[in-house]
Amino acid sequence: MTTTTPEATPLGIIAAGGVMPRRLADDVLASGRPVYVVAIREFAESQLYAGLPHRVVRLGAAGQVIAAFRAAGVRDLVMLGHARRPSLLSLFPDAWTASAIARVGRGYFAGGDDTLLRGVTRVLEDEGFVVRGVHELRAGLTQAPGLLAGPAPDPAQAADIRRGIAVLRAMGPVDVGQAVVVQQGLVLAVEAIEGTDAMLARAGSLRREGPGGVLVKLAKPGQDLRLDMPTIGPVTVENAKAAGLSGIAIDAGRSLVTESEATIALAARYGLFILSLDPEAFNKDIPS
């Protein structure tokens, strides 16, 4: 009798918006492991999954998600892609989803994004699936500490980064946002439910005269890195440029950089820095 190992079973991908779920699927297939994709209708570009084993499922039909993965023999799952946070009333939950919400408690669905995703993960794990992080499955998405692009931050920009770190550390325990924009010591915008791109547009409308601000994007303290790891990519750089920023600071080893070569090259072309940092070490490294 042959024992089936997790590597021989399909990787299940719950796909929201963007191209990252498809790129992960291609990488996994190239490694010799099959995949099965459940594309969430309200967010995913379902045409991306043509030619792959997949099913399109509406938001709120978690019972169909579970059934599709079970039928495909999936054990390991990853959730990937960008999505708008739904309200509980907008889910139109099927009977299975309503039962799951009752089982884990409505509190998981009334908190911040991290709280919600922990609730979803608990449901999936209760059903026998193993939830993985994309960084566990695809190398090279996170970055070591160091300057990735552009000129090194000057003292004023470094002070703005430290201010951003302090703001995010204060917000993290109440599960609000992963990003903040600081210019000349002033907090122009804090990420809430709208997401980083919309926050950057708002920050651009509030920018001050003088040197541009910085985007600081960090994982929340204690955040489960399998779920909604802070992410930047070429679109982030474009939006940071449009907002008049001078650079971006990210959490070393705890943030994803999608299309890393293109992201870094674009920032360098615009003269924007991308700094990968350890927040605690950066705060200690204050010139006297």
Distance between CA atoms of 75 and 134, rounded to whole angstroms?
A: 15
**Coil vs helix vs strand at 56:** strand
Instruction: Count the neighbouring beta carbons within 10 Å of the beta carbon of residue 31.
Output: 11
* pLDDT tens digits in sequence order for the chain, 288 residues long: 333 444 679 999 999 888 889 999 999 999 999 999 999 988 899 999 999 999 999 887 888 999 999 999 999 999 888 876 554 444 556 666 667 666 665 554 555 555 667 777 888 888 899 999 888 888 778 899 999 999 999 999 999 999 999 999 998 888 788 999 999 999 999 998 888 999 999 999 999 999 999 999 999 887 777 777 889 999 999 999 999 999 999 999 999 898 899 999 999 999 999 999 999 999 886 654
Domain spanning 146-284: CATH 3.90.1150.10: no
pLDDT at site 116: 64
> What count of other Cβ atoms lies within 10 Å of the Cβ of residue 256?
22
- The span from the CA of 12 to the CA of 34, in Å, is 9
Quickly tell me which residue has 């909604």 as its tokens: 228
Count of Cβ atoms closer than 10 Å to residue 128 Cβ: 9
Residue 249: enclosing H or E segment and its boundaries? strand 247-251
Residue 27, both tokens = 């990488």
Is the separation of the CB atoms in 248 and 214 below 8 Å?
Answer: yes
Predicted local confidence at residue 61, as pLDDT: 85
* Torsion of the alpha carbons at 241, 247, 253 and 259, rounded to the nearest 10: 30
Interaxial angle between packed helices 95-104 and 62-72, expressed in degrees from 0 to 180 and rounded to the nearest 10: 100
Pairing state between β 54-57 and 76-80: unpaired
What pLDDT does residue 4 have? 40
203, 243 contact by CB (below 8 A):
yes
Q: What is the DSSP string of 3-30?
A: PPPGGGSPEEEEE-BSSHHHHHHHHHHH
Kindly report the CA angle at 72 between 71 and 74, in degrees rounded to 5?
110
Res 89: pLDDT = 44
146-284 has the same fold as 6-137: no
pTM (predicted TM-score): 0.79
Buried b (16+ CB within 10 A) or exposed e, 69-101: beebebbbbbbbbbbeeeeeeebebbebbeebb
Q: Does domain 6-137 have CATH number 3.40.50.20?
A: yes
Q: Rounded CA gap, 252 and 175, in Å?
A: 20
pLDDT given for residue 148 in this prediction: 97
C-alpha 12/C-alpha 136 separation (Å) is 14
Of 62, 52, 122, give the one whose Cα is nearest residue 86: 62
Q: Where are the domains of the chain?
A: 6-137, 146-284
pLDDT, residue 115, reads 60
Instruction: Report the pLDDT value the prediction gives residue 177, as an integer from 0 to 100.
Output: 80
> What integer pLDDT is reported at residue 189 of this predicted model?
97
**Residue 197, C-beta contacts closer than 8 angstroms, at least 6 positions apart:** 235, 236, 239
